[in-house]
Amino acid sequence: MSEHNRFLPNIDDCHQYTLFIDRDGVINQPIIDDYAKDPSEFIFCEGAIDALSRLKRIFKHIVLVTNQQGVGKRLMTSQDLENVHLKMYDSLRSRNYPYFDLVLYAPYLKDKSHTWRKPNTGMLLKAKEYYPDIDFLKSIMVGDSPGDMALADQLDIIKVRILNNQFEFDNQDFTYANLSSFVIALSN
């Protein structure tokens, strides 16, 4: 583990950091062995909306990076996914909360190992094309799966795990029950 991975940045230093964040199991409640295929199936995790607002106000960039193989499996269309993301956007906007700087998703099947699909680095490298000031050594990946942590390892990014009972692994720098508890940790 590199030296910078041992500590979360002080809240006053977060404005120099990029936060990469997974969606299912972090922002919305995961649907075991299925996908949020329409807005009615997308249910925010408790406290996630307020946590996202606070995070957006303290980080330089926040980039949503999510695998969405339900599109690749043809269980939903790209428009269905956009409608789900629109619900997320509208929920934040209705409270005058800021939205993500960038939303990227990988609709590819797991067995195809596409460069965009986590744990591959394609989405993060694309984010850096949009925001050349992204420094992976000053970045945090917040996710709930082994793939999220493996992605962070490839670019030497601080790894924050949000607990999700469907995954068993121990390859993270920090673990929190939910996004709200992560925000509290940054504040302390």
Q: Which residues are designated catalytic?
A: 22, 24
Please, are residues 71 and 112 in contact by the beta-carbon 8 Å criterion? no
- Helix (H) or strand (E) run with residue 87 in it: helix 78-93
From the centroid of its chain, how far is CA 33?
Answer: 19
3-state secondary structure of 24: strand
Amino acid at 116: W
Residue type, 34: D
Phi, psi of 84 (to 5 degrees): -65, -45
Q: What is the Cα–Cα distance from 10 to 52, expressed in whole angstroms?
A: 18
Q: Which of 8, 136, 165 is nearest to 61 (CA)?
A: 136
- E strand or H helix at 129, and its extent? helix 122-130
What does the alpha-carbon distance between residue 69 and residue 66 come to, in Å, rounded to a whole number? 9
DSSP-derived secondary structure letter, 109: -
